[in-house]
């Protein structure tokens, strides 16, 4: 006999389905297997995984002696070469400029031309590029924000002051770019995440870290330790207390039905603004909580791993109460429950097999790639 655990949705059950934040920790995803780099001086480095990944993709390289020299500075010409390899398909939106200090036979001439035309780098007055000048951290971040067309969505001053103890020394030209880069989680500060050090020359390890963050997609785990990524802590750890309730709802169906041992992906919608102790909204209504229904002793439980706020993804560790309501598949009234239900794939197959109704598997079924909006 098969029984289906039933999770009914609706405003009447918002309190019962509220997710309780027990702690705020990064989403842990297995790091992909990387080609082993032979660099002799990055073993144990905070940026080792990132450097290895970029090297395996041909974006950066080491020196003939087998070293990477992670603490060495990066010139503007070297950065131009790196950024072009990292983002080879970026559209050219500017006209070509013949820089007076970059002759056509210069080793990075093409890279500099491309970086200029794609908007990553600009020259100085008088058509000067200064290819051999070491590039500061602020300039790297502004370059990435510019080339990737990132703009701040929050008040710039608020973002900078909330994240950096030394926000007052950020050059005015860099304010918008660094604020945008912070929102996009490009800013990496080692060893103290609160110190940006905008005028400090960027090291090869730091430039690698910025590039890794810029290349990390929404479905990928960061190769940089979370504690060094600016903005991560500010979003949740510093703003939401343990035990905060998040009211959630699933409005696409009245019921979600899974089999007793089934794990099913699920995306819920935040039903009301979640505020911190100071009254500020930290998770606005309409945000999406991504996770899965998991079997647990006595029933099923929704376990959240991410929350999507204004298009940005943040890790979260939250769970609902245990849902214990069950229905017997052989109950004569059971099929009526399916009319306004979404099924887990295992539940759909099991119900179809018992009832003989093959159309069950064609109903609304939760799949690994479905979100609330995609389920009609």
Least confident window among 170-174, 280-284, 370-374: 370-374
Kindly report whether the global pTM for this prediction surpasses the value 0.75: no
- Taking the C-alpha atoms of residue 202 and residue 71, their distance in angstroms, rounded to an integer, is 9
- Nearest residue to 211 via CA among 147, 151, 166: 147
Report the pLDDT value the prediction gives residue 84, as an integer from 0 to 100: 96
Phi-psi region of 127 (alpha: psi -120 to 50; beta: other; left: phi over 0): left
Question: Residue 225: is it exposed, middle or buried by C-beta count within 10 angstroms (0-12/13-18/19+)?
Answer: middle
- How many helices (H) and strands (E) the chain has is answered by 10, 14
- 242-281 confidence digits (pLDDT tens): 778 888 888 777 777 777 788 888 888 888 888 766 566 6
Tell me: pLDDT of 20 over 50.
no
Q: Which two tokens stand for residue 263?
A: 């794990």
- Nearest residue to 308 via CA among 291, 332, 328, 327: 291
- Taking the C-alpha atoms of residue 34 and residue 52, their distance in angstroms, rounded to an integer, is 7
Report the pLDDT value the prediction gives residue 364, as an integer from 0 to 100: 56
Residues in Cβ contact with 146 at an 8 Å cutoff, skipping those fewer than 6 apart: 119, 120, 122, 177
For residue 348, count other CB atoms closer than 10 A to its CB.
Answer: 25
Report the pLDDT value the prediction gives residue 15, as an integer from 0 to 100: 28
CA end-to-end distance (rounded Å), the chain: 30
Listing DSSP states for 20-60 in one string gives: EEEE--PPP-PPPP-PPP--TT-TT-TTHHHHHHHHHTTS-
């Amino acid at each position: 006999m098969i029984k289906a655990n039933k999770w009914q949705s609706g405003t009447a059950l918002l309190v019962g389905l509220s997710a309780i934040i027990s702690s705020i920790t990064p989403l842990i995803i297995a790091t992909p297997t990387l080609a082993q780099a032979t660099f002799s001086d990055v073993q144990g480095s905070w940026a080792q995984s990132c450097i290895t990944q970029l090297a395996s993709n041909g974006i950066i390289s080491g020196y003939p002696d087998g070293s990477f020299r992670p603490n060495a500075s990066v010139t503007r010409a070297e950065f131009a070469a790196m950024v072009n390899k990292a983002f080879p398909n970026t559209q050219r939106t500017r006209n070509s400029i013949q820089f007076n200090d970059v002759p056509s036979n210069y080793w990075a001439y093409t890279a500099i031309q491309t970086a200029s035309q794609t908007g990553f780098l600009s020259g100085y007055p008088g058509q000067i590029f200064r290819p051999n000048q070491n590039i500061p951290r602020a300039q790297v971040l502004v370059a990435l924000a510019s080339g990737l067309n990132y703009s701040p969505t929050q008040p710039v001053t608020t973002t900078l002051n909330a994240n950096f103890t030394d926000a007052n020394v950020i050059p005015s030209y860099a304010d918008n770019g660094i604020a945008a880069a912070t929102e996009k989680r490009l800013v990496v500060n080692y060893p103290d995440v609160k110190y940006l050090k905008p005028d400090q020359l960027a090291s090869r390890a730091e430039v690698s870290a910025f590039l890794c963050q810029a290349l990390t997609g929404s479905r990928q785990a960061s190769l940089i330790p979370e504690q060094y990524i600016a903005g991560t802590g500010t979003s949740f750890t510093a703003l939401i207390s343990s035990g905060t309730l998040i009211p959630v709802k699933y409005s696409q169906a009245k019921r979600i039905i899974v089999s007793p041992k089934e794990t099913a992906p699920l995306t819920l919608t935040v039903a009301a603004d979640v505020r911190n102790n100071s009254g500020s909204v930290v998770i606005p209504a309409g945000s999406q909580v991504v996770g899965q229904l998991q079997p647990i002793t006595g029933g099923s439980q929704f376990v959240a791993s991410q929350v999507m706020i204004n298009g940005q993804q943040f890790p979260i560790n939250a769970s609902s109460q245990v849902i214990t309501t069950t229905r017997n598949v052989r109950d004569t009234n059971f099929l009526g429950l399916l009319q306004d239900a979404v099924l887990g794939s295992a539940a759909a197959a099991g119900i179809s097999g018992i009832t003989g109704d093959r159309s069950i598997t064609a109903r609304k079924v939760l799949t690994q790639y479905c979100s609330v909006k995609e389920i009609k």
